Amino acid sequence: MRGPLALLLAVLGAWLPLLEGARILTVVLYGGSHYLLMDRVSQILQDHGHDVSFLQRSDLDFPSGFKREKTYQSIHWSPPDKFKQELKKILDLLTKEAFLGRNSFRPFLEIMKLFGTHCSDVLGRTDIMGPLHNGSFDLVVVDGLDLCAFLIAEKLARPFVAVLATTFGVTSFGLPEPVSYVPDFHSSLTDRMDFWGRVTNSLMFFISPWRQRYIHGLMESTIREHFLEGSRPDLCHLQQKAELWFVNSDFAFDFARPLLPNTVYVGGLMAKPVEPIPQDLEDFIAQFGEAGFVLVALGTIVDVAGSRQALEQMHRAFAQLPQGVIWKCSPSLWPEDIPLAANVKLMHWLPQSDLLAHPSIRLFVTHGGMNSVMESIQHGVPMVGIPLLVDQPGNFIRVEAKHLGVSIPIEQLNAETLALKMKQVIGDKSYKSAAVAASIIRRSHPLTPVQRLVGWIDHILQTGGAAHLKPYAFQQPWYEQYLLDVFLFLLGVALGAVWLCGKLLGLVARGLCGARKLKRA
């Protein structure tokens, strides 16, 4: 009996930490959709028996009506007083540049530089980092686009996983990228490229790493300040060091591409059970009968309604529809000299997911943020996009390629174009059919996004990491990964063989010439 009993005790000993739940730290210092996704991840892990602490900013604004049901522990970072003003100033510039159709990369770099500066503040705060060091966390979960979160995990010397709030390509973490059918995210290409498309994609493939290196370089001063020489992390290597990457996307939305075993789709993680909408919204929707209604929500980071020109053009377009329009736009910001159309209802906050699940919805007008796109696919609702910045234009390249909707560049936004696009998507039933098909794909996975998230985290907690899920390529120098050393060796052998053949032919030719001369003599 001693042998089986010892074996049973060993198995129970291995499983006991998992059964008791792990101590997990989640980290994101961004707001908006990044915060919302990490809040959801934190609550899911807490609900599944883990002890979760969430490091977040304390200055985030939430509209009235927004429900925050949390049982995890919150750890707040209070940014310096100027942080919020500086961030708003850059976001306003970003919006202005987008409306003018200009490249938004420069303001984006300013945002990254600002977060780099204030990352130094977080890492230097003993009242934050001290308790985190003493927290004995088993795992850290970081936002995949928040570079400071990676540095915090490295500073704590704890294993970590990353949650990418958008789809692939906004950042690179070592996935194979066959350029013949995996488009660079910023290239505006799909997976079906002609010859010139593959030429463009190949060039972008070489440019993108330098772009990412430049962004990472904005954190160099913070790294030098808080990490000793000889142990200073490289952010590219730090991203590959993540045990797992959870990607907020889905096969229903993304182009099929090679993935590594440590890369897991969790698109649809934000989905919750549908609840009845408030009675005032039901009464408004009922006025339009079979025509139904259109939902308009353009995100939390950039306020399109802050531009009077955009607001007027959108309002004129909505007034032309036979459908009702429920628009997430603060009534307090509405200009007094513009009479509100009878079919338009403004709301400071609205239950977006519940409205998308409503049987009378006909269209979703969205900025193209990943959470909104995933919710739209979840409920089979076609889209009209007004993408502004960062991942949003790339997201709508995929929406259009899947025939889930159409988009309008923000600089081309006017009442006529928007009304035409909305009527096109509502009137052409093929968009609705494609959206329903995508919803079926999204919902019919063998495991739900929540099960994949919790199951894989439990797996690496039980096995002590994910080294078995990562390719050896992560430890190889770049010239070995791309077989440049093999190519140069084979090229040398080939050139050597050609040279040797040339020499031999020369000797043979000279021998034949000598033989002829002797014969003549």
Asked whether residue 103 falls in the same domain as residue 156, the answer is yes
Query: What is the domain-level CATH number for residue 388?
Result: 3.40.50.2000
Residue 101 forms part of a structural domain:
yes
* Full DSSP string of 246-292: EES--TTTSPP----TTEEE-TTTT-----PPPHHHHHHHHTTGGG-
At 145, the amino acid letter reads: L
Per-residue pLDDT of the chain (521 residues; tens, 9 = 90+): 455 545 444 444 444 444 468 999 999 988 888 899 999 999 999 999 999 999 998 877 766 556 667 889 999 888 877 887 888 788 777 777 777 766 667 777 888 888 888 888 899 889 899 999 988 899 999 999 999 999 999 999 999 999 999 888 788 888 888 999 999 988 889 999 999 999 999 998 888 888 888 888 889 989 999 998 888 899 999 999 999 999 999 999 999 999 999 999 999 898 888 999 999 999 999 999 999 999 999 876 555 656 778 888 899 999 999 999 999 988 877 888 888 999 999 998 889 999 999 999 999 999 988 999 999 999 999 999 998 877 888 899 999 999 999 999 888 889 999 999 999 999 999 999 999 999 999 999 889 999 999 999 999 999 988 889 988 888 888 788 888 899 999 999 999 999 999 989 888 887 778 766 666 66
| Domain's final residue, options 421, 443, 465 | 443
In a domain, 369, yes or no: yes
Same domain, 136 and 209: yes
Tell me how far CA of residue 227 lies from CA of 214, 224, 479, in angstroms: 20, 6, 28
- Asked, for residue 301, whether it belongs to a domain, the answer is yes
178 with 286, same domain?
no
- Listed in sequence order, the DSSP H helices in 343-448 are 352-356, 370-378, 392-401, 415-427, 429-443
In a domain, 5, yes or no: no
Same domain, 322 and 471: no
Both 294 and 355 in a single domain?
yes
Q: Select from 210, 155, 216 the least CA-distant residue to 186.
A: 210
Torsion of Cα atoms, 186 then 192 then 197 then 198, to 10°: 100
Tell me, yes or no, whether 349 and 245 share the same domain.
no
| Bridge partner residues of 162 (DSSP) | 142, 245
**Which residues are 405's β-sheet partners?**
383
The label of the residue with tokens 């033989």 reads 515
Q: What is the pTM of this model?
A: 0.87
Please state, in angstroms and rounded to a whole number, the distance separating the CA atoms of residues 447 and 444: 8
Exposure of 130 by Cβ count < 10 A (0-12 exposed, 13-18 middle, 19+ buried)? exposed
Q: Are 267 and 449 in contact (CB under 8 A)?
A: yes
Q: Which residues contact 33 (CB under 8 A, 6 or more apart)?
A: 165, 299, 300, 301, 369, 370, 371
375 lies in which domain range?
Answer: 279-443
pLDDT value of position 47: 93
Q: What is the DSSP-derived secondary structure letter of residue 135?
A: T
Q: How far apart are CA 232 and CA 151, in angstroms?
A: 10
Whether 151 and 171 have beta carbons less than 8 Å apart is answered as no
Same domain, 68 and 215: yes
Whether residues 74 and 170 fall in one domain: yes
Q: Which residue has the tokens 């961030």?
A: 87
Distance CA 441, CA 435 (A): 10
φ, ψ dihedrals at 214, nearest 5° = -65, -40
CA distance 155 to 209: 25
Mark which of 443, 466, 483 sits at the end of a domain: 443
Q: Tell whether 219 and 85 lie within a shared domain.
A: yes
Q: Are residues 225 and 349 in the same domain?
A: no
Whether 220 and 286 share a structural domain: no
Counted domains in the chain: 2
Asked whether residue 352 is domain-assigned, the answer is yes
pLDDT at 203: 92
**DSSP character for 302?**
S
Tell me, yes or no, whether 418 and 458 share the same domain. Answer: no
